[in-house]
A = this chain, B = another copy of it.
Amino acid sequence: MQFEVDAHRADRPAGRIRQQNEKLILEAAEQEFARHGFKGTSMQQVADRAGLPKANIHYYFNNKLGLYYAVLANIIDLWDSTFNELSADDDPAVVLPRYIATKIEFSRKYPQASRVFAMEILSGGPHLSQYFQQDYRDWFRSRAAVFEQWIAAGKMKAVDPAHLIFLLWGATQHYADFAVQIEAALGQQTLAPEVFDTATETLTEIILTGCGIRR
């Protein structure tokens, strides 16, 4: 799962100042893109948040699309790393709880990243077309195959692997993407750490029991 993007970034030597400013801009851009999506975000907003003149954003990233791709690439890198760790040799009773905990931890630590990705998908994923290629389907099938082997080995009940994966994704990312609604429901201004802990416990309990891994 690669996501080529450097073509859109300005091609200049990478000095100290450059690295520092790029980081500043990328963080500001992630915030803005998470709230307003690609079309809804203005370069001026990004510049204001980064504390730099608008022209500097264009100096470091050729254009708005280049900036957006750079933000997306960071997120995808972050994403793919975890899910590839599951293997058929593992015991699902050990690695599934770990996976759920990791995903919830992502929602806690990088909510903005999760939201940028969610916004892009909601928009129809026009900037992820090369990411969602045949390769992606193959990758997904190989991940689903792990669950099939666990089922064949009697390590878990025969549930549809694809939909189990969607359940894992949907339930965990919900804590980042819908944080505002959860905050309103629980009457908290920002989600307390315990919320994420209880979420992990509850999800783990229900899913592992539901898949016949625990009883």
Residues of A within 8 A of B (CB): 34-41, 115, 118-119, 121-125, 132-133, 136-137, 140, 157, 159-160, 162-167, 169-175, 177-178, 180-182, 184-187, 198-199, 201-203, 205-212
The distance from the CB of A166 to the nearest CB of chain B, in whole angstroms, is: 6
Select from chain B the residue with minimum beta-carbon distance to A201: B160
Could you give 22 example pairs across A and B, Cβ below 8 Å?
A35-B122, A35-B123, A118-B122, A118-B177, A118-B178, A119-B119, A121-B180, A122-B177, A125-B180, A136-B184, A140-B186, A160-B198, A162-B186, A166-B171, A166-B175, A166-B199, A170-B173, A171-B171, A205-B210, A206-B206, A208-B210, A209-B212
Further contacts, 18 of them, CB under 8 A, given A39-B39, A169-B174? A36-B39, A36-B40, A36-B123, A37-B39, A121-B178, A136-B184, A160-B198, A162-B185, A163-B198, A163-B203, A165-B185, A166-B174, A170-B173, A170-B174, A206-B207, A206-B210, A207-B210, A208-B210
Q: What B residues does A165 contact at CB under 8 A?
A: 185
The distance from the CB of A134 to the nearest CB of chain B, in whole angstroms, is: 8
The distance from the CB of A45 to the nearest CB of chain B, in whole angstroms, is: 10
A121 touches B166 (CB 8 A): no
Please name the 8 residue pairs, one residue from A and one from B, whose CB atoms are nearest each other, closest first. Answer: A170-B174, A210-B210, A206-B210, A39-B40, A40-B40, A132-B184, A163-B202, A140-B185
Select from chain B the residue with minimum beta-carbon distance to A129: B184
Dominant secondary structure of chain A at its interface with chain B: helix
Select from chain B the residue with minimum beta-carbon distance to A134: B187
Select from chain B the residue with minimum beta-carbon distance to A139: B185
The distance from the CB of A143 to the nearest CB of chain B, in whole angstroms, is: 9
B119 touches A122 (CB 8 A): yes
B119 touches A202 (CB 8 A): no
Cα–Cα distance between A132 and B84 once the two chains are bound (Å): 38
Cα–Cα distance between A205 and B157 once the two chains are bound (Å): 10
B206 touches A167 (CB 8 A): yes
